[in-house]
């Protein structure tokens, strides 16, 4: 063993301590997952070396054949995993093996409940890479040297998975990383060739470089060769290069777990080879759950990019639009040069063609999922629906296709579940209906009872109820679907078109004319608070309502802009009254102008509250209401 120098003991980051404590002290049912995680890391190290060697061939140091070797020692109770990939420097060892990367794992820690049983299951599902070694080992030793560094700059990292770890400088002749797991008592099953072979076949058969184990020796001990003979136990070919008919569903699922660092199976996938003007292969996956950092701007996103099966980039986000950032997978191109960089990708017209084709493929995959697996699509929508709603603004060319994938709650349901597609809505439209009606608001509970829906309930017309924060912004870009225009039922002068009979329209005009005097009195009492006062066509039960001007911002957008510190343009609501309501009839007969003004303001404030808005002067509202109550009780 080489002499260790510059030895120091360092403490783990707080999250790592917590994680290791749970791993060491919890009974974890699926322990073999540790091998999948370590092999994945070794595969990534080989990919990184291939990429860096494009610019610096000397990094391969004469050993261009990359592989992973797995061995065991029953007597010493150890399992050793060795790769000849990129390796790590001392600084990288401290950074990578002493802290949790920002890629969502730290956020994952916040989800831990403190219930050991539940948490150990969550840890096992998430994998958390290198640290999963401590599921089966009570000591882990890592010997590594970065490619291109001298042999004297090898590093030995060692830890028992408690509060600290040791790092020392050693001599290491070969580049790459060797991990030695000292198995816990009771975990000796893993120091066995048959067991390790089975785990590799189950989880890592798709890994594109050879995973070698010592050949099983059968015969006299004296005839055993001095040096082990190695045999490859996985297919060692890039899964996406194989024909679809050759790949089993289980293999696609395990490959997804490798590229996405996920523990659950994907909802769907699409494996496609394009030949002709452009030549590339893509393997795209729809995940079953949203990552913790889906809405973080700097979160990793994009596909793994290979050029002629050589790894180039881990998160190439140029191949899909931002609203499809949840898609995972691989794209392998024959039309890009091996020395491609992010800057070149951004300017290459080939990328635009591939992006357009891959986007269409993803949308087709989602359409197929929605049609054939509605329950699976419901799961997808819960996880990624709000992200998909960014699509119509970002991708004009596919606006109609994206709109067909959107799901909304509606007045047809009582639970607020977003399950109604636009095609389904159009399919059950009333005779004579030529518009898609919708209403936005803060919560389903608030808007399902909105006075704006009264006339629609009376006529049995379905209205989409939109409660996501993004919805009003979405509807400013989504103006029609399948030739039918969208109409916000809280905006402008509601026109039900053919759904109103000629008699209805004539009666409305006559009532408006008859109430002109009342409308003028109300406008005088409310003054600058309103843009207009008019007779409502929306109301059947409520006395009054606030409508939004055709070009004005809705309440949802105003709140979003105000919360982000932006100046919101002034906009006055339109005050609409229901002339058949007893309160309006009483108001019309009120001779005392002061009392008329007080009642007008109370009605206006109540309409604002019903719309989900906050009152400009709550104290004045309370005073007027109290004054009215005193009068009534006198």
Structural domains of the chain ordered from first start: 5-235 (3.30.565.10), 240-374 (3.30.230.80), 394-498 (3.40.50.11260), 504-633 (1.20.120.790)
Higher pLDDT pick, 594 / 612:
594
pLDDT in tens, 176-195: 999 999 999 999 999 999 99
Return the pLDDT at 536.
Answer: 85
pLDDT at 278 > cutoff 60 = yes
Task: Report whether 330 contacts 304 (CB < 8 A).
Answer: yes
Mean pLDDT, the chain, whole residue set: 85
Return the pLDDT at 385.
Answer: 93
SS3 291: coil
224 φ/ψ sector (left φ>0, alpha ψ -120 to 50, else beta): beta
pLDDT at 338 > cutoff 80 = no
SS3 251: helix
Return the pLDDT at 80.
Answer: 97
Tokens 């290979």 belong to which residue? 306
Q: What is the mean pLDDT of residues 277-291?
A: 91
Task: Report whether 358 contacts 305 (CB < 8 A).
Answer: no
Task: Report whether 23 contacts 161 (CB < 8 A).
Answer: yes
Return the pLDDT at 104.
Answer: 45
Tokens 């359409």 belong to which residue? 367
Spatial distance between the Cα atoms of 631 and 634, rounded to a whole number of angstroms? 5
Q: Quickly count: other Cβ atoms within 10 Å of residue 398's Cβ.
A: 20
Task: Report whether 620 contacts 455 (CB < 8 A).
Answer: no
Predicted confidence band of residue 118 (pLDDT cuts 50, 70, 90): low
Task: Report whether 253 contacts 267 (CB < 8 A).
Answer: no
Q: Name which of 176, 179, 168 is nearest 141 in CA terms.
A: 179
Q: Name which of 311, 308, 335, 299 is nearest 258 in CA terms.
A: 311
Return the pLDDT at 359.
Answer: 96
Higher pLDDT pick, 126 / 212:
212
pLDDT in tens, 343-385: 777 777 888 899 999 999 999 999 999 999 999 999 999 999 9
Q: Quickly count: other Cβ atoms within 10 Å of residue 87's Cβ.
A: 28
pLDDT at 220 > cutoff 70 = no
Spatial distance between the Cα atoms of 38 and 129, rounded to a whole number of angstroms? 7
Q: Which helix (H) or strand (E) holds 193?
A: helix 193-203
DSSP per position, 345-397: HHH-HHHHHHHHHHHHHHHHHHHHHHHH-HHHHHHHHHHHHHHHTTHHHH-GG
Return the pLDDT at 552.
Answer: 66
Higher pLDDT pick, 104 / 183:
183
Q: What is the mean pLDDT of residues 461-489?
A: 91
N-term to C-term CA, the chain: 100
Predicted confidence band of residue 219 (pLDDT cuts 50, 70, 90): low
Instruction: Give pTM, 2 decimals.
Output: 0.75
User: For the chain, what is the radius of gyration of the CA atoms?
Assistant: 33
Lowest mean pLDDT among 35-39, 134-138, 355-359, 494-498: 494-498
Return the pLDDT at 1.
Answer: 47
């Amino acid at each position: 063993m080489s002499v260790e120098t510059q030895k120091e003991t360092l403490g783990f980051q707080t999250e790592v301590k917590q994680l290791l404590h749970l791993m060491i002290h919890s009974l974890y049912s699926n322990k073999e997952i540790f091998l999948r995680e370590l092999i994945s890391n070794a595969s990534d190290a080989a990919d990184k070396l291939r990429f860096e060697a494009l610019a610096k061939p000397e990094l391969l140091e004469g050993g261009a054949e990359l592989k992973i070797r797995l061995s065991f020692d029953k007597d010493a109770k150890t399992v050793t995993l060795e790769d000849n990939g990129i390796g790590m420097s001392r600084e990288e060892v401290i950074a990578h093996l002493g802290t949790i990367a920002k890629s969502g794992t730290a956020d994952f820690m916040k989800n831990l409940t403190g219930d050991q049983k539940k948490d150990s299951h969550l840890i096992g599902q998430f994998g958390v890479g290198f640290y999963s070694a401590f599921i089966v080992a009570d000591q882990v030793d890592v010997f590594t040297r970065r490619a291109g560094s001298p042999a004297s700059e090898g590093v030995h990292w060692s830890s028992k998975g408690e509060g600290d770890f040791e790092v020392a400088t050693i001599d290491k002749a070969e580049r790459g990383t060797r991990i030695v797991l000292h198995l816990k008592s009771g975990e000796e099953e893993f120091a066995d060739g048959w067991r390790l072979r089975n785990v590799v076949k189950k989880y890592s058969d798709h890994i594109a470089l050879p995973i070698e184990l010592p050949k099983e020796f059968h015969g006299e001990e004296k005839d055993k060769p001095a040096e082990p003979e190695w045999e490859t136990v996985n297919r060692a070919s890039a899964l996406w290069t194989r024909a679809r008919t050759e790949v089993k569903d289980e293999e696609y699922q395990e490959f997804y777990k490798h590229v996405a660092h996920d523990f659950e199976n994907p909802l769907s996938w699409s494996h496609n080879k394009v030949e002709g003007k452009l030549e590339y292969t893509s393997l795209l996956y729809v995940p079953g759950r949203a990552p913790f950092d889906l809405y973080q701007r700097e979160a990793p996103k994009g596909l793994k990019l290979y050029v002629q099966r050589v790894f180039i980039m881990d998160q190439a986000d140029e191949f899909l639009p931002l609203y499809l950032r949840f898609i995972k997978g691989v794209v392998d191109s024959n039309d890009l040069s091996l020395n491609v960089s992010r800057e070149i990708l951004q300017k290459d017209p080939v990328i635009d063609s591939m992006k357009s084709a891959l986007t269409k493929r993803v949308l087709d995959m989602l359409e197929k999922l929605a049609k054939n697996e509605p329950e699976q699509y419901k799961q997808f929508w819960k996880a990624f629906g709000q992200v998909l709603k960014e699509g119509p603004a970002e991708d004009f060319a596919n606006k109609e296709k994206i709109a067909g994938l959107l799901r909304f709650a509606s007045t047809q349901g009582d639970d607020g579940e977003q399950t109604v597609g636009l095609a389904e809505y159009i399919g059950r439209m009333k005779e004579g209906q030529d518009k898609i009606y919708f209403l936005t608001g803060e919560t389903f509970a608030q808007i399902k009872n909105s006075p704006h829906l009264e006339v629609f309930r009376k006529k049995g017309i379905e209205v989409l109820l939109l409660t996501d924060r993004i919805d009003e912004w979405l509807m400013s870009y989504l103006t029609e679907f399948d030739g039918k225009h969208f109409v916000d039922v809280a905006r402008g002068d509601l026109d039900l078109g053919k759904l109103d009979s000629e008699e209805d329209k004539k009666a409305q005009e006559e009532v408006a004319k008859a109430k002109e005097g009342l409308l003028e009195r109300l406008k005088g009492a409310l003054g600058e608070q309103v843009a207009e006062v008019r007779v409502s066509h929306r109301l059947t039960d409520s006395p009054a309502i606030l409508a939004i001007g055709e070009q004005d911002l809705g309440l949802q957008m105003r709140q979003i802009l105000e919360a982000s510190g932006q100046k919101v343009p002034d906009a006055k609501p339109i005050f609409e009254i229901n002339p058949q309501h007893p309160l309006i009839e009483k108001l019309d007969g009120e001779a005392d102008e002061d009392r008329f003004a007080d009642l007008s303001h109370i009605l206006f404030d109540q309409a604002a509250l019903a719309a989900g808005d906050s009152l400009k002067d709550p104290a004045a509202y309370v005073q007027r209401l109290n004054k009215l109550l005193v009068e009534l009780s006198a």
